[in-house]
Amino acid sequence: MEFAEAVRRRKMIRNYLDKPVDADVLERILDAAGRAPSAGHSQGQYLVVVTDPRTRTAIAELGNEAHYVASGMPPWMSTAPVHVVVCSRENDYHVRYQEADKLTDEGTEIDWPVPYWWVDAGATLMLVLLAAVNEGLSAGLFGSHRLEGLKELLGIPDDVAPVGIVTIGHAASTATTGSAKRGRKAPEQIVHRERWVGA
């Protein structure tokens, strides 16, 4: 698939068929995710891939699937055949940025004006979404507000933060749902040329 088409087609899908994702296809998606950029090549991004139906149901409960179902949506989290939990380990960045080539002139770690561990997790997340679309599949994303429960369920270490859960599967419907109904900004509302405020 052309890159531009994958970008255009990508949208969060919250309705999946009861049909598994081919193992080879899933591996290609995960391989793409491993190609995300990372600050200083710290590579503090990690994935927990879940296909077991009982675990998916438990993850969906932690994502408050009942809330979506109550609002008339299908149980899209638990029925998506694959969950990819995108995680970030902040400490990988501190370790990397204490290496000689990353120290400040004063010999200290940078003061992190932007927390790059979250930035990089977002880049990984986007690659998973686009790679799924590129394979003719659909993907969605949800956050969990019960992170401790999610960590316990999946055995995620204390120093690793789950950032979001990507659902992957075959779409039962590609209807626009959720917040996307608000519509998308036009480019001129996003892009500032040369300066934010014009001369």
Nearer to ligand FMN, 75 or 178 (CB): 178
Nearer to ligand FMN, 40 or 57 (CB): 57
Nearer to ligand FMN, 1 or 180 (CB): 180
Shortest reach from residue 157's CB to ligand FMN, in Å: 22
Burial environment of residue 150 by CB neighbours within 10 A (0 to 12, 13 to 18, 19 or more): buried
Shortest reach from residue 40's CB to ligand FMN, in Å: 23
Burial environment of residue 30 by CB neighbours within 10 A (0 to 12, 13 to 18, 19 or more): middle
Shortest reach from residue 199's CB to ligand FMN, in Å: 33
Residue partners of 48: CB distance under 8 A and separation at least 6: 84, 85, 87, 154, 156, 162
**What DSSP designation does 184 have?**
-
Sign of the CA dihedral running 64, 118, 160, 46:
positive
Interface ranges with ligand FMN (CB under 6 A) = 11-12, 14, 141-143, 164, 178-180
- Report the alpha-carbon distance of residue 188 to residue 103 in Å, rounded: 39
Nearer to ligand FMN, 11 or 56 (CB): 11
Shortest reach from residue 155's CB to ligand FMN, in Å: 22
Contact 178, 199 (CB under 8 A): no
Residue partners of 65: CB distance under 8 A and separation at least 6: 75, 76, 77, 78
Nearer to ligand FMN, 179 or 189 (CB): 179
Shortest reach from residue 146's CB to ligand FMN, in Å: 12
